[in-house]
Amino acid sequence: MKALAAVLCLLVLAGCSLPPPDQPAHFSRMGRFLGLVANCGCSDISPERMLAEYRKALADRYSESEAVSMRGHVDLAATEQWHNHAVVCGEVCGQRCMVQAVVEPLGGRGVGVPACPVTERDLHLTDGANTDATAGPYP
């Protein structure tokens, strides 16, 4: 009985730690996602165009200060090249409905699925990795 109560308690606590389903992705993660969509070629939106027009993809879900702060994250992600770049890009481009939500407002080539919100709960971004722990991203 105690074990069942402990399991139920853990399930309740775990459920409380998840963000609400409609909470927009944190501005830094959204910025990285936008930059990676362009960097990875998930659509025909170039990194330069994404950086210039990324605000069109935000759908008024971010404050002005968050949108301004997001620019650096978009810029960095649009040029990042980690050793596991293929894995990072595979994950980003595989989140097709979120990619659609980003490229549709920019008039980019769609990915053939209906758009869905880019939420904190549903957005998955693999960290960049190096084979040499002291090195940064390679050009």
pLDDT at 22: 79
Q: Concatenated DSSP letters for 88-104?
A: HHHHHHH-HHHHHHHHT
Q: For residues 73-102, give the mean pLDDT.
A: 96
> How far from chain centre, in Å, is Cα 92?
7
The per-residue pLDDT for 130 is 81
Q: Which amino acid is at 39?
A: N
Residue 119: DSSP 8-state: B
Can you tell me which residue has the tokens 């990194």? 47
Give me the residue spans of the domains in the chain.
23-125
Judge whether residue 19 has pLDDT over 80. Answer: no
- Give the pLDDT of residue 5: 57
Calculate mean pLDDT across residues 107-113. Answer: 92
User: Rounded to a whole number, what is the distance in angstroms from the first to the last CA of the chain?
Assistant: 58
Look up tokens 């950086």; give the residue: 51
The mean pLDDT of 84-92, rounded to a whole number, is 96
